[in-house]
Amino acid sequence: MKQKHNLIKAGILTASLLLCGTGSIAVETMRVHAAEIAESSADSSEITYLYTVEDLLTMADNPSGNYVLMRDIDMTGVNWIPFTFSGILDGNGHALLNLKVTAVGEETADTYDGNMKVYDTSLSGLFSILRDATVSNLTLLGLDVSIETDKPCFIGGITGLLENSSITDCTINGTLSLMAHDRMFGVGGIIGYGHGLIENTSADVTLICIDTDAATRDEQFLGGACAAGYPDINHCTVQIAGYDSDHGYVHNGGLIGMYMFYPAGKTYYGSMTHNKVTGRITFFEDNTNRRAYCKDFVGEIVSWDFLNGSNTSDFVRDERFEYDKNLLPHTCAEPTYTDVVTEPGCDSFGYTLHTCNGCGYESYDCYTLKQHKITDWTTVKEATIEEHGLEHGECELCDYTEDRETPLLPPPAETLQPSASASLSVDALSEEVQAKTGSKLPLLPILGISAILLFGLVIVVIKHKGRQ
């Protein structure tokens, strides 16, 4: 435990070095990074520690690796392409902020509808597929998954497809939106489709699923934890704001849109216990052959053989009957917003709250990393040309302290660089000369006298040459 604490402190040190913008950034980051890996490799040489966006991006090169997230990472602006992951990811209590996903993974997979028809399906989320994988202790804050596709498709916060994998002790906060029209598609807060274990995980999610084509009758799924499949879901907390616009068959559930055991078979025995659901699903089902499944826990139950108890809900089933306008969380035509930025604290992320001036609709984004408040740094050791200096800081808000290295002093300049002097003003040049010579003589007269002398010399030379 102590080792873990030290690792985290070292991580913060590196982060603050990065913020300082010193010349020694690259070297320092590498040094601290290497030290941490060396220190931890005693536990398991197989573990890869993730500190940066670049570290996260390299996971795709070794998708069966064993990973531990070492700090919160802001994913703003990162082009994240989801992939099939079959390793171990321990979020270690850390968060990925502002992750935006607009692509599906390269690998597609079979999904099944309630009549056991098979569809070749695109998948998206943090991962597109989790296969024999474990994801734990990870927070996704300000997640934004937005997919528009012509194929069958499932999207979920952690993964599009869960295949014999587990998701435990995770937190998902954000918005997932799918626009599709090909027969079979859905949105889930934690996973899109599949089977495995989802435990001790919470999702506070806005889910939007829009059928972009009224011509075909689709099988459409939406669920706070999972859109469709037969995962075990235990001890989870779901806060859902769902918007499902469908010209076909909807399957909406606070926990799961449809629970069925294809392709496992009806002898499979699942479990869904000790979950808490709050929120509302607003939907329409534009279909004369209406079923309009929408319930607090499970929308449609195809297979009844699962342990189902100790679940609680505060849920609103909100069915609409106008089919020409897609359902969305915010509907003002040309909204203007009042933005309020909340700065991060020692133990809290910052964020921006947007409030619509027309209707009062609120949304949050632009999360910022936790930050201690250290304004005064005391010098412990002065930097020299050969050795880094050291500064000590104390947070004004908590008892956190931090030591940071200061950069090496630059070697003394021997001569004025011509390129530098060219851009200097005469005054600056004058100061430079004063500093070098210690003389207080003003530069302009010196230059003037030099010019006159040079001019005189040139005249003398010309006259001399004229006489020859």
Q: Restricting to residues 161-220, which ones interact with Zn ion according to CB under 5 A?
A: none
- Residue 333 CB, nearest distance to Zn ion (Å)? 9
Task: Please identify, using beta-carbon distances, which residue of 332 and 452 lies nearer to Zn ion.
Answer: 332
350 near Zn ion, rule: CB under 5 A? no
Among residues 199, 203, 229, 44, which one has the least CA distance to residue 136? 199
Amino acid at site 169: D
Could you tell me which residues come within 8 angstroms of residue 141 by beta carbon, excluding any fewer than 6 positions away? 95, 96, 97, 98, 171, 173, 174, 349, 367
- Residue 92 CB, nearest distance to Zn ion (Å)? 20
Q: Restricting to residues 122-151, which ones interact with Zn ion according to CB under 5 A?
A: none
Please identify which residue in 34, 398, 426, 452 interacts with Zn ion, judged by CB under 5 A.
398
Task: Please identify, using beta-carbon distances, which residue of 103 and 356 lies nearer to Zn ion.
Answer: 356
The burial class, CB within 10 Å (0-12 / 13-18 / 19+), for 206 is buried
DSSP class of residue 13 equals H
Task: Please identify, using beta-carbon distances, which residue of 322 and 334 lies nearer to Zn ion.
Answer: 334
- Residue 441 CB, nearest distance to Zn ion (Å)? 53
Task: Please identify, using beta-carbon distances, which residue of 359 and 426 lies nearer to Zn ion.
Answer: 359
Among residues 254, 236, 171, 224, which one has the least CA distance to residue 197? 236
Amino acid at site 221: F
DSSP run (H or E) holding 7: helix 2-20
- Residue 398 CB, nearest distance to Zn ion (Å)? 3
Please identify which residue in 397, 444, 454, 457 interacts with Zn ion, judged by CB under 5 A.
397
Please identify which residue in 8, 241, 395, 433 interacts with Zn ion, judged by CB under 5 A.
395
Please identify which residue in 26, 359, 413, 454 interacts with Zn ion, judged by CB under 5 A.
359
- Residue 356 CB, nearest distance to Zn ion (Å)? 3
Give 285-331 as a DSSP string.
Answer: E--SS---EEESSEEEES---EEEES-EEEEEEEE----SS---S--
Among residues 279, 295, 293, which one has the least CA distance to residue 242? 279
Task: Please identify, using beta-carbon distances, which residue of 102 and 357 lies nearer to Zn ion.
Answer: 357
- Residue 12 CB, nearest distance to Zn ion (Å)? 10
- Residue 340 CB, nearest distance to Zn ion (Å)? 16
Q: Restricting to residues 298-337, which ones interact with Zn ion according to CB under 5 A?
A: 332, 335
Task: Please identify, using beta-carbon distances, which residue of 350 and 358 lies nearer to Zn ion.
Answer: 358
CB atoms within 10 A of CB 62: 11
The answer to whether 207 touches 185, Cβ cutoff 8 Å, is no
Task: Please identify, using beta-carbon distances, which residue of 114 and 358 lies nearer to Zn ion.
Answer: 358
Please identify which residue in 400, 402, 430, 432 interacts with Zn ion, judged by CB under 5 A.
400
The answer to whether 40 touches 8, Cβ cutoff 8 Å, is no
- Residue 411 CB, nearest distance to Zn ion (Å)? 37
Question: Both ends of the chain: CA-CA distance in Å?
Answer: 94
CA 293 to chain centre: 33
The answer to whether 224 touches 206, Cβ cutoff 8 Å, is no
- Residue 378 CB, nearest distance to Zn ion (Å)? 17
372 near Zn ion, rule: CB under 5 A? yes
369 near Zn ion, rule: CB under 5 A? no
Beta bridge partners of 312: 276
356 near Zn ion, rule: CB under 5 A? yes
Site size toward Zn ion (CB under 5 A) is: 12
361 near Zn ion, rule: CB under 5 A? yes
DSSP class of residue 343 equals P
- Residue 363 CB, nearest distance to Zn ion (Å)? 10
Task: Please identify, using beta-carbon distances, which residue of 360 and 411 lies nearer to Zn ion.
Answer: 360
| Contacting residues toward Zn ion, per CB under 5 A | 332, 335, 346, 356, 358-359, 361, 372, 395, 397-398, 400
